[in-house]
Homo-oligomer: A and B are copies of this chain.
Amino acid sequence: MARASTTSDAFNAIAEPRRREILSYLAGIERPVGEIAEALGLEQPSVSKHLRVLKDVGLVRMRCQGRQKLYRTNAEAIRPLHQWAATFERYWQHQLTRVKARAEAMARQGSPQLDSAKSKEK
């Protein structure tokens, strides 16, 4: 079956580094295709193709102005990704407190050395 298509959802769309660059570049501003291509050092057809994917999943919005088309990032479409990642927030917080607790325990009873030195132990 191969991988799911990039047009199926935002997760697949942002898997491509160039598309993430485009999204960052178009955050808050509106730019024509040519300018995007020049700014990011990409070929125009390549940019058009990436924009197509991003538009299909709603990550960018397009507006026509004369002969050029202005694109901008639709930040709202990134929220689901943010929320999905936030699902794991409590777990990495747990991990951090565990790491911190262990570090403090070692500092309390072990010899007072730097972490870089202690990491070689065991």
Q: Identify the A interface with B (CB < 8 A).
A: 3-4, 6, 11-12, 14-17, 20, 23-24, 27-28, 73-76, 78-79, 81-82, 84-89, 91-92, 94-96
Nearest CB in chain B: distance from A116 CB, A: 19
Task: Provide the main secondary structure of the chain A interface.
Answer: helix
For A79, list chain B residues within 8 Å (CB). Answer: 85, 92
Docked CA distance A15–B4 (Å): 8
Residue with the highest number of chain B CB atoms closer than 10 Å, among A3, A11, A88: A88
Task: State how many angstroms separate the Cβ of A16 from the closest Cβ of chain B.
Answer: 7
A16 CB contacts on chain B under 8 angstroms: 3-4
Smallest CB-CB A-B distances: 6 pairs? A82-B85, A75-B91, A75-B92, A15-B15, A75-B88, A12-B15
Closest Cβ of chain B: how far from A31's Cβ, in Å? 15
Measured CB to CB, the nearest residue on chain B to A79 is B92
CA distance A64 to B53 in the complex (A): 41
